[in-house]
Amino acid sequence: MCGKAGTLIAFSGFTGDKADVSTIRADGTNLRKITSSNPGEYQFIPGFSPDGRLIAYASSRGEPSPDVAHLRIIAVDGSGDRQLTATTDGTYEDTGPKFSPRGDVIVFGSDRGNTREHNDIYTINVDGSNLRRLTHGANNSYSRSWSPDGRLIVFNS
């Protein structure tokens, strides 16, 4: 994922039994790990806010297993890391966060209340309020995107 004007790239990478979100400039300089996982924790699937200042990502931090995840937000400099969706009860995964064009809402997939890995589409405000389920039984496979005006969400099902 590229940040503002394509100058910064965010990605997740594994080191042993953990994964963290890192950033690097598009020219290959200034590699920086911005999350800090413990063994068995995964921080993955990062996505930039439209202004390039924030990154939303999926996290298994605090979960009973790396197979379940909630969403978190962090500044590109690694500060202000905070949880966005509630820690799960160990039975579902929130993943693939994408900011709306205005940067105030995030769309993501979750298998809450579904068979594992059968995701429906949800939105949540960046402040953590107004969690909304948009589909029922869509079985989305991690692919969703906002229209340029932010009025529509396209997804595979």
* Bridge partners for 120 per DSSP: 110
Domains and CATH numbers, the chain: 4-155 (2.120.10.30)
Give the pLDDT band of residue 156 (cuts 50, 70, 90): confident
Instruction: Give 79's contacts (C-beta < 8 A, 6+ positions apart).
Output: none
Average pLDDT over residues 67-72: 92
What whole-number distance in Å separates Cα of residue 42 and Cα of residue 38? 8
How many Cβ atoms sit within 10 Å of the Cβ of residue 45? Answer: 23
Closest CA to 89 of 105, 112, 110, 107: 112
Phi, psi for 4 (deg, rounded to 5): -50, 130
pLDDT single digits (tens) 99-148: 999 999 999 999 887 877 788 999 999 999 999 999 988 776 568 899 99
**Percent of the chain whose pLDDT exceeds 90:** 70
Predicted pLDDT of residue 140: 67
